[in-house]
C-alpha cells in the first residue's frame, strides 16, 4: 500500500503544478473521453433486449472506455482528482492548489462533455442508429437522471466515486498499461451496472438528451440538469472519492507508522 500511496502523492504534486492552460486542455479532453464511453454505453444498450441485468453489464463494460482513455492517454478528470486529498493530508499539496485544480478541471470537463454531445448530435448518430432506438434510450436515461430526488442523486454519487477512485487508486499501483486497464474495467463496469451517478458522465448524458428533445419533456430541462442532478451528484462524488478512498487510505497508512 505504501508504494501505491507514494505514486498517488507524486501524481498529485504534478497535478498541483499544472498551468491553467494545461488544466483546461487536459480537462476538456477528459470530459470528451468520458463522453465517448457514455456514447458507447448507449450504443451497447440499444437494439437488443437480453434482460435488464445483462443490458446494464453491457453498458458498464462499454462505459469503461472513458476512464481507460483518461488513465491511458493522460487527462484531468474531476472525479479521479478527488484523490488529491491524499496529498493535502500528507502536507505535500496545499488546499488552494487542490481547489484550483478541482474548479478549473470541473469546468473543462463540462466543456468537453457538452462539446462532444453537440458534435455527436450534429453527426446524426441518433438517425443512423434509429432502428436500434439510440435516441429513445438516450432520452430515457437523460430524463431518469434529471428527475432523481436530491438525496438519491447524492448517495448514488457517493457510491459511484468510491468505485471510480478505487479504480484510479488500483491503477496507480500497476506498472503497465494492461494492468491499468484491468484495474479500471471492473469498478467502472460495477458502478454503471448498479445505476450509480457520475457527474462528468452526466455532463454528456443529459445535454445529449436535451439536444435530442425536439419537444419539451417534463423534468428534462437546463435547471434540472444543473441543479437537480449535477449539484447533488458532484457533491456525492466529492464525498465518495475524497473521504472513502483518499482520506481513509491515507489514514490507514499513517496509522502504521
CATH code of the domain in which 115 resides: 1.20.1080.10
What is the tens place of the pLDDT at every residue in 133-152?
899 999 999 999 999 999 99
Cβ–Cβ under 8 Å, residues 150 and 186 = no
User: Which residues, at least 6 apart from 223, have a Cβ–Cβ distance to it below 8 Å?
Assistant: none
Mean of all residue pLDDT scores within the chain: 94
What is the tens place of the pLDDT at every residue in 83-103?
999 999 989 999 999 999 999
Provide the pLDDT for residue 51. Answer: 63
Residue 217, all three cell numbers? 419533456
> Is the confidence at residue 216, as pLDDT, over 80?
no
Q: Stretch 201-222: mean pLDDT, rounded?
A: 93
Domain that holds residue 117: 2-255
Q: Stretch 160-185: mean pLDDT, rounded?
A: 96
**pLDDT bucket at 48, cuts 50 / 70 / 90:** low
SS3 93: coil
Q: How many CB atoms are located within 10 Å of the residue 3 CB? A: 9
Task: 124-132: list long-range contacts, CB under 8 Å, 24+ apart.
Answer: 125/39, 126/212, 129/43, 129/46, 129/47, 131/47, 132/43, 132/46, 132/47
Burial-class residue 178 by CB neighbours within 10 Å (0-12, 13-18, 19+): exposed
d(CA 17, CA 40): 33
Q: How many CB atoms are located within 10 Å of the residue 131 CB? A: 8
pTM, entire model: 0.96
Residue reference for cell 492517454? 73
The structural domain count of the chain equals 1
Amino acid at each position: 500500500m505504501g508504494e501505491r500511496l507514494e505514486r498517488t502523492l507524486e501524481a498529485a504534486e504534478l497535478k498541483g503544478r499544472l498551468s491553467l492552460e494545461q488544466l483546461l486542455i487536459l480537462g476538456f479532453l477528459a470530459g470528451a473521453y468520458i463522453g465517448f464511453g457514455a456514447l458507447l454505453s448507449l450504443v451497447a444498450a440499444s437494439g437488443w433486449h437480453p434482460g435488464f441485468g445483462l443490458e446494464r453489464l453491457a453498458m458498464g463494460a462499454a462505459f469503461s472506455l472513458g476512464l481507460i482513455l483518461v488513465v491511458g492517454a493522460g487527462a484531468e478528470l474531476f472525479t479521479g482528482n478527488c484523490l488529491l486529498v491524499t496529498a493535502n493530508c500528507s502536507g505535500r499539496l496545499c488546499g488552494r492548489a487542490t481547489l484550483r485544480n478541482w474548479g478549473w478541471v470541473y469546468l473543462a470537463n463540462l466543456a468537453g462533455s457538452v462539446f462532444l454531445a453537440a458534435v455527436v448530435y450534429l453527426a446524426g448518430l441518433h438517425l443512423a442508429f434509429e432502428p436500434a432506438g439510440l435516441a429513445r434510450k438516450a432520452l430515457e436515461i437523460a430524463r431518469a437522471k434529471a428527475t432523481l430526488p436530491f438525496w438519491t442523486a447524492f448517495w448514488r454519487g457517493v457510491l459511484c466515486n468510491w468505485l471510480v477512485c478505487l479504480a484510479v487508486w488500483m491503477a496507480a499501483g500497476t506498472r503497465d498499461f494492461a494492468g491499468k486497464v484491468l484495474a479500471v474495467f471492473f469498478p467502472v463496469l460495477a458502478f454503471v451496472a448498479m445505476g450509480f451517478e457520475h457527474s462528468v458522465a452526466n455532463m454528456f448524458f443529459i445535454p445529449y438528451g436535451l439536444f435530442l428533445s425536439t419537444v419539451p419533456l417534463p423534468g428534462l430541462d437546463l435547471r434540472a440538469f444543473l441543479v437537480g442532478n449535477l449539484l447533488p451528484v458532484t457533491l456525492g462524488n466529492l464525498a465518495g472519492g475524497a473521504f472513502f478512498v483518499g482520506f481513509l487510505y491515507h489514514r490507514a497508512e499513517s496509522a502504521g507508522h
